[in-house]
Structure 1
Amino acid sequence: MRAKAITFVLAFIGPLMAASAFPFELTLKWKAEEVPTYWHNRLVLAKNSVLVSSRGMEIGPSGAPAPDEADGLYILKAETGEKIHLKTSKDAGGIALSDIDGDNLPEALVGCYDGSVYIYKLGAPSRPVKLNTGYLIASTPTVSDMDGDGSPEILVANSQGNLFCFDPDGGLLWKYEEMRTAWIISSPAVADLDGDASPEIVVGNSAGRNEGFLYCFNSQGELLWKFPASGQVVSSPAVGDIDKDGRPEIIFGSQDHNLYCLNPDGSLRWKFPTGNQITSSPALADISPEDGVEVMVGSKDSTVYCISSRGKKIWAFRTKGPVVSSPVVADLDGDGRLEVVVGDLSGVIYVLGHFGIWKYEADSEILSSPAVGDVDGDGKLEVVVPSKRTVYCFESPGAGRIAWAKFQGDSWNTGLLANAITYGRFSASGFPGTWTPGIQPVVVFSDPNLEEAIRDELGKPRGPITAKDLAELIELDASGRGIRDLSGIERCINLRRLWLSGNEVEDIRPLGALTNLEELYLDDNRIGDIAPLGNLTELREMDLGDNLIEDVGSLKRLTNLRKLYLYNNSIEDVAPLAGLFGLKVLELSNNRISDIGPLANLTNLGALYLDDNLVQDISPLANLRKIGEEGGDERDGVVIHLGLSDNQITDIGPLLDNPGLGEGDGVDLRGNPLGPESVDIVRKLRAKGVNVLYEAPSTAPVLKLPRQLNFGEVAVGDTSLRKVEMANVGTDTLEVRKMIVGRPTAEARPSVFGLLPRPPLPWKLPPEGRKTIQLFFAPQRRGPHQDTLWVISDDPAGPKGVALIGMGIAPEVVVSAGNVDFGPVQLGSYKDTLLSIYNRGNADLRITGVSLASGEAFVLLQDPEGSVVSPDGSVPLRVRFLPDAVGEFRDTIVIVTNAPESPHKVPLAGEGIDKEPPNVKFTPPSPQFVLRSDKPYEIRLTASDLSGVDSATVYYRTGGERGFSILEMSGDTTFTATLSPTTQILHRGLELYIKVVDGAGNIWQSPHYTIAGKIAGKGIKRPGLTLRKKYQMISLPMYPEDPSPSAVLGDILGPYDDTKWRLFWWDPRKKTYTECPDVPPFTPGRGYWLITRDPKELYTGPGVSVPPDTFEVTLQPGWNMIGCPFAFPVGWNEVEGHETLLPELPRACTVVDGKYEFPDQYVLRPWQGYAIYNPTGRTVTIKFPPLEAGTPKPGSTSLLDLA
């Protein structure tokens, strides 16, 4: 098999994709063959080892356990994949890895189909301890400390519906039996759901064919609640606070096609529908810019989904086959961005990332789940993926953070996000020692600076931080730590005092859970939304100064507040504060407040600061009689209790109306346009003992301007307009003589800012006069811009300025290659190259056209026109050089975008040469070569005269195989393919071709041959198929030599006699049944009804197998009867055109409890007939690919056999 790195369309994956190095590549380190795994064989990584459990090679009827020599636990060496096999008596299930006895050596806990959990001591050979549950175990064991005694307990569910809890010595602590009528295939997850420092257990069950539940138990095994689903719950739940509201969510999938998210009490938060059953278990990781943590999960609709914390699709990646594997998430190349690893039932391993996708074709289905970690301790991460037959170990190009390392996130299988994060750090660092989560639920902090502050307060520099630790905190000072993310602080539920001043916090949602807070200091951050504070009703003092707050509506319920600081924000409306009657100190300086009427009833205020606002009317202050009763703010040697400086106040008379203002109280009135009458009012206030900071009015003009004008983000090439109001707040006429953008002593100079239009000067403004001017911002480059508008007037204070700021935004096109030279290419051949168009700017890049200047010898294989590329994103562009004449060729790619430098051009060059291709003699066998049952058949292919050829390769596979086998040829080489005379080979046929590459990279390829096998002699018997005394649907995966029903069935059942056997065919055109002998000849891809009286074995008679090439079947409107044309099963999801028929699926006849049923089928098997309904009202052609959905085995059964 060969791995492929393939570019991916950014718009499809969305936020997961961003620019990075390309291509990404995993290197195959080793593969361990004959280690068969199924969906429940979840592997675990350990230091220098890979642990894999196996159900072996044999599977009984309906998937039932069948013991064989391959069952058991495999320990694979990390360096080589060399195996140690510990055999179990029956099929082995999933693994948990934990030091359960405290001796610093890990134990592997393996569930088994004999109903026991086996505990193996790793590193100290001994007989395994056996824990018996009495019935087979398909669920994976979970380890967790359930009773808080410091020792882990073992949770395991069996397929009789029972949940068990054992102590480390194997003693049964409790057993829950209500679910005994249902299989439990889901594995238990453990988390503290209700915040009581005691864990709960959640696990799914399969109550019936169309029914399942998610159960929740307390740590003593008592049922707390159960949530019903409309399908079996095989998926194992994951638990984590994905929306960062301080409460965990429970996420799981169901076979009713839905992904569910529940609240801790079992109520539905959201559900997300997919197109088919979900047996994959979700992974939780923050991989996109969306708020919260994302959910990754696979579905049998052949899709991997990334779902936001709100239940919305972020991206969906279409896979080749259905996905039952559970994803893992890690930064595999060390670039700081996470990749998603998953496999599908077509045998493809995928790595989804910012670079695009990387994929690898394994030898068989991926039923189990990958795992990631630095197994060999070399500083690079290994990715280990088991297929149905082989375990693959890949080495990544680097090592970074591991977000979700394996099935259920950690080696204890707790399914808890917090444990997954700490386990990810452990596995990324080479598995030092044994990993143990906190005995109490572990709390993980996304921000290391916050974690450091909490560790300092706890006096706990190392080790896990538990919810119990945080519950002991009464106060925490985390000021000035550079904290950005508060996730995790919500577990500090008993905090009374919290300092977070001087950080970089924007999102304060985690604080909403801290309902015991009495003092909170959040000044000097980047907070805009304070809604999460609305429930903190115990607060008595809060500082929110120096933030970005506009709306204070959420504070109206905080009636216990005594001191509130809201300075240096953007608040206009203070009405929500009107009911905070207990306030004694209120600091509102430097906002945009003009109406202070709502403050009139805050009669307990002892200090009020309204400096630097837009206040004109101060009459509401007349009733605030306690001003001065609280300690004030010292300014220029005066203690101020009422700050009113730098407003638009002209009348201070209301201050005389306030009888509370008196001896020792301080008032700041500076910076207001006060008239002459204010002199007498100030004198009277001072006579009462009030300390007044005051600037006596003069007869001079006073120019007042805003401090700053912010244009915000403006696209390069665009123009934004803003207005500035200037006012004369003096007592004499103001003359504005000049306005300059730049230095006030210089003449106007070119700037991206300017006046529009330029006003005729000079202007004269009377006292209290106002005038508006308009300015523009027209950025010509990306990045921040700043300048100053200077206004020169006769204000005695001199020129005054307004700071002008704005951000120019624009995309910037960067192509991965400045020019491309294809070099010499043979006429009739071609060479491709892959380019990436990156957006290195700070605005979305919109590609409006990509073309070639001439298009003479170059071709664009992708058209990114219409693509929108976010900053740091990219789109692929593949270019082909296809010369049609000898000589040099030149062309140019022209990329037209909204970037300022558009169009962007990439020169292309190449040379057409006429060189003789090598002489490759390829003589395929006869299209209908005879395969006999008594001897093998050899196919001879010869390649000669290979001088100047770098490689000549034969690619071959038998029908149904997904990957080609490869044989490199050199010189005169004869290739011999020996096809063993087995039933499967006889029916499968052969595909092959030769590819030759010369030293210049030119490629020659032979035709693709598909070769059927002629079936000689008496024909082929279908193993295990007996025609029974009942209705049954059949089909033939071959072309019989004599296709008439009497010839095919006559030798077995005797001449046609409707008292012994009957054959029917549904004619989809006439909508009627035709009965033998009028049934048309047997044809592959067609289904038939057969009734027999006496059991017989079915033989085909001589004929020819169906060539392994795409096989077409045309469906008429309404009901049709079809069959699999090949001698191997084909997945319905891989049949081209099946999506046209959705939601209809093929149906096979079965008998359950003596009744005929027609269940939907997802795999079409040979010899079985199916009914399919075409709902489109028109003919639909479906195409079967010659690719096997599952490996058939001699003696295996199908629905036909079970009918």
Structure 2
Amino acid sequence: MRSKKTGTLSYVFLTAVLLFILASTTSHPAPATAAGETPPPDPITLDSTQPTQWTYLMYSQSGSPPYSQPNLASPALADMNGNGTLDVIAATENGRIVIVEGSSSGIVTTPLMDKDFSFAFGMAPFTQEFASSPAVADIDKDGQPEIVIGAGSTNPADCTRGGVIVIEHDGSVKPGWPKMAVDFSGNGCPDTVYGTPALGDVTGDGYLEIVAGGFDTRVYAWRHDGTPLAGFPADSYLYDRLGWPNLAGQLADTIWGSPVLADLTGNGRVDILLGTDEGNFDDRYPNGTGWVCPYATVPGGSDGYCGGSLYALDGSGSVLSGFPNYILEHIQSTPALADVNLDGYPEIFVGTGTYYNLRSPDHPTHGYRVFGWDRFGNPLPGWTNGKSTGGSMPGSPVIGNIAGDDRPEIITLGMDKKLYAWHIDGTAVPGFPMTPRDQQNKTWAYDVGRSPVLGDFDGDGKQEIFLATAWTVTVVDGNGNILTTTDYPSEPAKPMFMAWDTIRNNPAVADIDNDGKLELVVTNYAIHVWELPGSQPDAAWPMFKYDAARTSTIAEPLLALDPTHLSLLVELGESATTTLNLTVRNVGPGAFNWTASAGGRLSVNPTGGSVTRTSPDTVQVTINPAGLGLGTHTVGTVDVTALVDGRHVTNSPASLTVEVIVLNDLHRAFLPAITR
């Protein structure tokens, strides 16, 4: 029943090794450096190579040789010391958490933190591995951010102690942590938590809970003090159907994907979505549902069992209506969510996995697609049966406006070495799919955990796509054009962001020093930071899983005015003012602050406030009709602006037109109408 983790893990490990070998032999060669020596200043300034703003050499703190730790964890960006700038939080494959001040310069020698946490798991120094990425937020409302990360190796030959740890901003381990996973694989060590935890308020108590999934088939949710939430680890959806005890408190298969958090029901609490390796059972098993496995069983697998699933759970561990959504391939991809159709609720976009394509003798291609679903698990218009691609899609989608229209696009990477982009209606963005290329025109496959990020690289008001390609970062615009060099050194006009070793994770982009420009952040054996001089500080998807809390959800409020037009009927000669009501609503998650203004014959009261989905504000619009002649008169507009952190929310600013219709004899007018 359970997939063979060793086979999948070995594949990922061998792919990483192959990637390293190819990069070492085909990319620009790294400087020759003996073990223990410091490499030259990083990077070397050569023609189109961009010099870094600052670099921190992470290997030097543990005595590891240069270029030996490419690291799987993607960096997080968050203000760790309260000085108003974003810092870089990185994790290593030898158990360390590293924090460097975002406004640093040159070769950094004094980080905010560089500490080995192997001891917290009962392991020897520098022997723990962090393949998960750090999540950062103030989970306990103490005014200081905490760091949360999953632990354990992706190499089944390494007996690391898997679990989840919470680290205080000062480097101490939070009481009640770490939490160890279960040794489901039976190798004598707790299984790895590869997926990146997500932090959010799933209970509605104002504190942030920690959600994670592991190779031990468990979906975990803990309070900030380490106590598990009731209902977690969650039962498999199949438990009620099959009644097997081993489906209580665990799923039927491993979890590679990372959990994401979004309010799917509108109750103000976030729900949990998670791609899993749990497939379904055909009708040879009890209480059949018509599930069919249309390809040969994986050697050593269970006949009649196949596929993967997207789970959606509430804060009690109960499965939401319409889920799990079973498909015919694993879902190792991490979903991306945003309210792309402006209905007030997030839509779900997710890729697949590689397992059955690689392991079944039939090598099925059911995972050659990307799915778009609504909050009930129904396919979105234009996304029925998913969007077909040329390869497995274990990478994680991102969402942002790359086309310069008024709506976001969905962007993701594939094992077929392609970069895909679709409009929300499922049509391909012109210029996509395209093939990203590195500085030597080489191409690369994008496996589980890989994801692009989005930011305005060239200041044109549109989002560009940043992705790691071997030793460099490639930048692609919304037309599918590569903006970085593909022919070094013959393209001196195009930049090259060279990290001098394999980048096995995802970059990040943000204005981390408050200079009004984006910085590009990459981690491998070092943290590399480049300023992007032509950029604007807008980054629609700045890091892996969108934000430092790793929610993978653009949870933005949505302004709506009710009604959208005001009309007043009066008799000729009427001079008394009339007051009508306008409702300012937030039909999305969170809250926004609003202001209203009016001119001419109009006034409004109040002129501002704050609204959530469940607490709209009423604005009184007072109209003065004095002196108006017969006919229809536009007497002004009410202008409403809604902001979050100084940024306009969707539909802001909004204007409402007010008209007055003057009649000789009002009582003969047709109704309904608005009158005094």
Q: TM-score, normalised by structure 2?
A: 0.52
* Match of residue 195, structure 1, among 204, 207, 214: 204
Matches within 5 A, 1:540-619: none
Q: Does 1:281 align with 2:334?
A: yes
Q: Does 1:383 align with 2:366?
A: no
- Cα separation, 2, equivalents of 1:361 and 1:165: 39
Residues 137-161 of structure 1: per-residue CA shift (max 9 Å, x gap): 1100111112322221111221122
- With over 3 angstroms needed to count, the CA separation of the structure-2 counterparts of 1:370 and 1:213, relative to structure 1, is same
Q: What residue in structure 2 maps to residue 765 of structure 1?
A: none
Is the Cα–Cα contact under 8 Å of residues 320 and 346 in structure 1 kept in the other structure?
yes
SS state at 1:322 partner: coil
Q: What residue in structure 2 maps to residue 407 of structure 1?
A: 544
- Cα separation, 2, equivalents of 1:292 and 1:223: 28
Deviation at 1:395, TM superposition (A): 3.2
Q: Does 1:341 align with 2:394?
A: no
Q: Does 1:226 align with 2:194?
A: no
Is the Cα–Cα contact under 8 Å of residues 327 and 407 in structure 1 kept in the other structure?
no
Deviation at 1:162, TM superposition (A): 2.3
Deviation at 1:308, TM superposition (A): 0.3
Matches within 5 A, 1:258-657: 258-269=309-320, 270-288=323-341, 292-300=345-353, 301-314=367-380, 315=383, 316-353=386-423, 356-357=428-429, 358-362=432-436, 363-367=443-447, 368-375=450-457, 377=459, 379-388=461-470, 390-396=472-478, 404-410=541-547, 412-415=548-551, 417=553, 420-421=554-555, 444-447=556-559, 483-488=584-589, 510-511=613-614
- With over 3 angstroms needed to count, the CA separation of the structure-2 counterparts of 1:366 and 1:74, relative to structure 1, is farther
Q: What residue in structure 2 maps to residue 165 of structure 1?
A: 166
Deviation at 1:327, TM superposition (A): 0.8
Matches within 5 A, 1:864-883: none
Q: What residue in structure 1 maps to residue 485 of structure 2?
A: none
Q: What residue in structure 2 maps to residue 1140 of structure 1?
A: none
Q: What residue in structure 1 maps to residue 142 of structure 2?
A: 149
Structure 2 letter corresponding to 1:333: A
Structure 1 letter corresponding to 2:414: D
Structure 1 letter corresponding to 2:276: S
Deviation at 1:246, TM superposition (A): 2.7
Is the Cα–Cα contact under 8 Å of residues 201 and 269 in structure 2 kept in the other structure?
no
Deviation at 1:120, TM superposition (A): 3.0
Q: What residue in structure 1 maps to residue 50 of structure 2?
A: 82
Is the Cα–Cα contact under 8 Å of residues 56 and 69 in structure 1 kept in the other structure?
no
SS state at 1:356 partner: coil
- With over 3 angstroms needed to count, the CA separation of the structure-2 counterparts of 1:137 and 1:55, relative to structure 1, is farther
Residues 822-847 of structure 1: per-residue CA shift (max 9 Å, x gap): xxxxxxxxxxxxxxxxxxxxxxxxxx
Is the Cα–Cα contact under 8 Å of residues 191 and 200 in structure 1 kept in the other structure?
yes
Structure 1 letter corresponding to 2:129: L
Deviation at 1:83, TM superposition (A): 6.0
- With over 3 angstroms needed to count, the CA separation of the structure-2 counterparts of 1:173 and 1:337, relative to structure 1, is same
Is the Cα–Cα contact under 8 Å of residues 221 and 228 in structure 2 kept in the other structure?
yes
Is the Cα–Cα contact under 8 Å of residues 397 and 411 in structure 2 kept in the other structure?
yes
Q: What residue in structure 1 maps to residue 109 of structure 2?
A: 126
- Cα separation, 2, equivalents of 1:334 and 1:400: 16
Matches within 5 A, 1:908-927: none
Deviation at 1:112, TM superposition (A): 1.4
SS state at 1:172 partner: coil
Is the Cα–Cα contact under 8 Å of residues 581 and 618 in structure 2 kept in the other structure?
no
SS state at 1:97 partner: strand
Gaps of 5+ in 1: 1-37, 41-52, 60-67, 422-443, 451-478, 493-500, 515-519, 526-796, 806-1203
- With over 3 angstroms needed to count, the CA separation of the structure-2 counterparts of 1:289 and 1:97, relative to structure 1, is closer
Q: What residue in structure 1 maps to residue 598 of structure 2?
A: none
- Cα separation, 2, equivalents of 1:106 and 1:76: 26
- Cα separation, 2, equivalents of 1:171 and 1:201: 18
Is the Cα–Cα contact under 8 Å of residues 201 and 219 in structure 1 kept in the other structure?
yes
- Cα separation, 2, equivalents of 1:801 and 1:413: 58
Matches within 5 A, 1:1124-1135: none
Q: What residue in structure 1 maps to residue 218 of structure 2?
A: 213
- Cα separation, 2, equivalents of 1:234 and 1:286: 25
Residues 235-280 of structure 1: per-residue CA shift (max 9 Å, x gap): 1111111332333211110012100111112111121112211111
- Cα separation, 2, equivalents of 1:376 and 1:170: 37
- With over 3 angstroms needed to count, the CA separation of the structure-2 counterparts of 1:232 and 1:289, relative to structure 1, is same
Residues 366-398 of structure 1: per-residue CA shift (max 9 Å, x gap): 231000012455644321022356531123479
Is the Cα–Cα contact under 8 Å of residues 291 and 309 in structure 1 kept in the other structure?
no
Q: What residue in structure 1 maps to residue 70 of structure 2?
A: 91
Deviation at 1:221, TM superposition (A): 1.8
SS state at 2:20 partner: coil
- With over 3 angstroms needed to count, the CA separation of the structure-2 counterparts of 1:305 and 1:268, relative to structure 1, is same
Deviation at 1:288, TM superposition (A): 2.8
- With over 3 angstroms needed to count, the CA separation of the structure-2 counterparts of 1:317 and 1:140, relative to structure 1, is same
Is the Cα–Cα contact under 8 Å of residues 404 and 461 in structure 2 kept in the other structure?
no
Is the Cα–Cα contact under 8 Å of residues 482 and 502 in structure 1 kept in the other structure?
no
- Cα separation, 2, equivalents of 1:247 and 1:146: 15
Larger RCO, structures 1/2 (Cα 8 Å, 6+ apart) = 2
Q: Does 1:116 align with 2:96?
A: yes
- Cα separation, 1, equivalents of 2:32 and 2:99: 20
* Match of residue 245, structure 1, among 261, 264, 267: 267
- With over 3 angstroms needed to count, the CA separation of the structure-2 counterparts of 1:389 and 1:448, relative to structure 1, is farther
- With over 3 angstroms needed to count, the CA separation of the structure-2 counterparts of 1:448 and 1:103, relative to structure 1, is farther
SS state at 1:215 partner: strand
Q: What residue in structure 1 maps to residue 491 of structure 2?
A: none
- Cα separation, 1, equivalents of 2:94 and 2:408: 40
Gaps of 5+ in 2: 1-10, 23-30, 119-127, 153-160, 183-189, 235-249, 279-307, 354-366, 437-442, 480-534, 563-579, 594-603, 622-664
SS state at 1:57 partner: helix
* Match of residue 194, structure 2, among 150, 163, 185: 185
Q: What residue in structure 2 maps to residue 57 of structure 1?
A: 20
Structure 2 letter corresponding to 1:297: V
Is the Cα–Cα contact under 8 Å of residues 161 and 184 in structure 1 kept in the other structure?
yes
Is the Cα–Cα contact under 8 Å of residues 373 and 405 in structure 1 kept in the other structure?
yes
- With over 3 angstroms needed to count, the CA separation of the structure-2 counterparts of 1:74 and 1:311, relative to structure 1, is farther
- Cα separation, 2, equivalents of 1:407 and 1:74: 24
Q: What residue in structure 2 maps to residue 673 of structure 1?
A: none
Matches within 5 A, 1:754-833: none
- With over 3 angstroms needed to count, the CA separation of the structure-2 counterparts of 1:83 and 1:163, relative to structure 1, is farther
- With over 3 angstroms needed to count, the CA separation of the structure-2 counterparts of 1:502 and 1:252, relative to structure 1, is farther
Deviation at 1:291, TM superposition (A): 6.0
Q: TM-score, normalised by structure 1?
A: 0.30
- Cα separation, 2, equivalents of 1:39 and 1:141: 21
- With over 3 angstroms needed to count, the CA separation of the structure-2 counterparts of 1:290 and 1:231, relative to structure 1, is farther
- Cα separation, 1, equivalents of 2:318 and 2:419: 36
Residues 69-92 of structure 1: per-residue CA shift (max 9 Å, x gap): 999999899x96636574634231
Is the Cα–Cα contact under 8 Å of residues 298 and 304 in structure 1 kept in the other structure?
yes
- With over 3 angstroms needed to count, the CA separation of the structure-2 counterparts of 1:75 and 1:162, relative to structure 1, is farther
Residues 280-314 of structure 1: per-residue CA shift (max 9 Å, x gap): 11111112366621011111202111110111121
Structure 1 letter corresponding to 2:94: D
Alpha-carbon RMSD: 4.4
Q: What residue in structure 2 maps to residue 517 of structure 1?
A: none
Is the Cα–Cα contact under 8 Å of residues 287 and 338 in structure 1 kept in the other structure?
yes
- With over 3 angstroms needed to count, the CA separation of the structure-2 counterparts of 1:216 and 1:337, relative to structure 1, is same
- With over 3 angstroms needed to count, the CA separation of the structure-2 counterparts of 1:177 and 1:248, relative to structure 1, is closer
- Cα separation, 2, equivalents of 1:75 and 1:245: 49
SS state at 2:171 partner: coil
* Match of residue 236, structure 1, among 258, 262, 275: 258
Q: What residue in structure 2 maps to residue 255 of structure 1?
A: 277
Is the Cα–Cα contact under 8 Å of residues 217 and 223 in structure 1 kept in the other structure?
yes
Bigger radius of gyration, 1 or 2?
1
